[in-house]
Structure 1
Amino acid sequence: MIARTWRGWATTSTADDYQHHYDTAVAEHLRRVPGFRGAHLLRRHDGDEVLFTSVTFFASMDDVRAFAGEDPERAVVEPAARRALTRWDERVTHDEVAVALPPAGA
């Protein structure tokens, strides 16, 4: 499994807008991508801004390309996200998931 990690920053006044965009439009798009295995959006205060870290999981790099295109390291930042964010990483990272621990009792 591949973990795709990306970061974007928003002002405190537009952070909820970005989170809503991710939870609706991004989630809807990702769920249609073959090989999509889940995602987490992390949020924390970073000085005067809010830092979002998106970690999406795909079965393979071919599935990542189905989402991101032929340059899989290029960030996919839709216009609605660009309106809510002040800046973002233009490039993403990909890592193989070495260990995935299920929750206790699962």
Structure 2
Amino acid sequence: MSTFVSQSSFLDCSDTQTNTFNVYESQNYYLLSLSLPNILTSTLQVKYMNNWVVVKASLLLSSNAPKFVSQFPLPTNADGSHLRAKLQGDVLAIVVPKKQTYCTEVDIISF
């Protein structure tokens, strides 16, 4: 079961257009759902850089091709190097798996 994560825990740096986004958390991944109306889909880029997800695209609204740019910091337990993105209609879904945690028991020896 996934839970909704407050948007305030992620930073939206879009300065060209207001877009709706939601963040959900499950046991194994984070899901960022971003509404992207009026974008030129052929220009859509999703990148992972220094623990941030960066979304860029050109907008359809003008011949000057204004840019949409949004940045989302990832939690420290997110594995951004394995993120996946899917655009369906005007909604972009970005799935970011969580890093696997390992617990190893260590034998204690006496000297």
TM range (shorter): 0.3 to 0.5
TM-score, normalization by structure 2: 0.37
Structure with more helix by fraction: 1
TM-score, L = length of structure 1: 0.38
Larger radius of gyration, structure 1 or 2? 2
